[in-house]
């Protein structure tokens, strides 16, 4: 399984792990919204019927339709918030892997992402502190095994990212941060995440 596939699988696994809680919350929120909307519409209906206005029935139907539309909008917004939460939780879980697993994941991802085998690797300050002295050597060994020049270096600079890395060569940077990968893969994964959550 490639690093990108691991990330994809991790996002799907994390979505499954929070799915039940999110489903319950969404159902409660949708039920509460719908209940309130129906109650509001009934109150308005009773008020209008009390006035015995000829146009009351049409107005009531419109009020109920508007209330139902608002309830659907609120339910959709709640679902969108949960999908966003699932993607954010996946990133959080990846960066909180045990240090050795996280380092191995980054080593594999860097070795799969390099074009020339001689770029600089920028990590977040937190990730840079987690990596042991073998980090770059392990990457270069993986590259040599693939027949690629193994001359990667760890940059003195750090990147303002949550996790993952940026490869830099001259003025060119390739962003492989988990945030960027998640955004790029979101269209592909969102349908699966929605199916899992709802």
pLDDT, tens digit, for every residue of 17-29? 665 566 666 667 6
Residue with the bigger pLDDT between 35 and 104: it is 104
| Confidence category of residue 64, pLDDT binned at 50, 70, 90 | confident
| pTM tops 0.85, yes or no | no
Contacts 24+ apart (CB under 8 A), 184-187: 185/4, 185/7, 185/8, 185/11, 186/87
Separation of alpha carbons 18 and 197, rounded Å: 8
Weakest mean pLDDT among 76-85, 104-113, 114-123: 76-85
Yes or no: say if 133 and 181 are a contact pair by the CB < 8 Å rule. Answer: no
């Amino acid at each position: 399984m490639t690093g990108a596939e691991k990330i994809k699988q991790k996002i799907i696994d994390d979505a499954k792990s929070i799915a039940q809680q999110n489903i319950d919350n969404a159902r409660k929120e949708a039920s509460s919204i719908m209940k309130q909307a129906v109650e509001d519409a009934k109150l308005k209906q009773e008020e209008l019927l009390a006035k015995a206005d000829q146009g009351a029935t049409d107005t009531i139907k419109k009020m109920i339709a508007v209330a139902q539309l608002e309830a659907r909008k609120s339910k959709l917004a709640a679902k969108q918030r949960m999908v966003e939460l699932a993607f954010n939780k996946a990133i959080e879980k990846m960066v909180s892997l045990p240090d050795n697993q996280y380092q191995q994941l980054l080593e594999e991802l860097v070795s799969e992402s390099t074009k020339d085998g001689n770029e600089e690797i920028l990590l977040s300050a937190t990730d840079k502190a987690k990596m042991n002295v073998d980090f770059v050597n392990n990457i270069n060994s993986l590259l040599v095994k693939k027949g690629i020049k193994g001359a990667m270096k760890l940059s003195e600079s750090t990147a303002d990212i949550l996790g993952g890395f940026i490869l830099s060569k001259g003025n060119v940077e390739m962003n492989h941060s988990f945030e960027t990968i998640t955004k790029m893969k979101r269209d592909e994964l969102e349908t699966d995440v929605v199916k899992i959550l709802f």
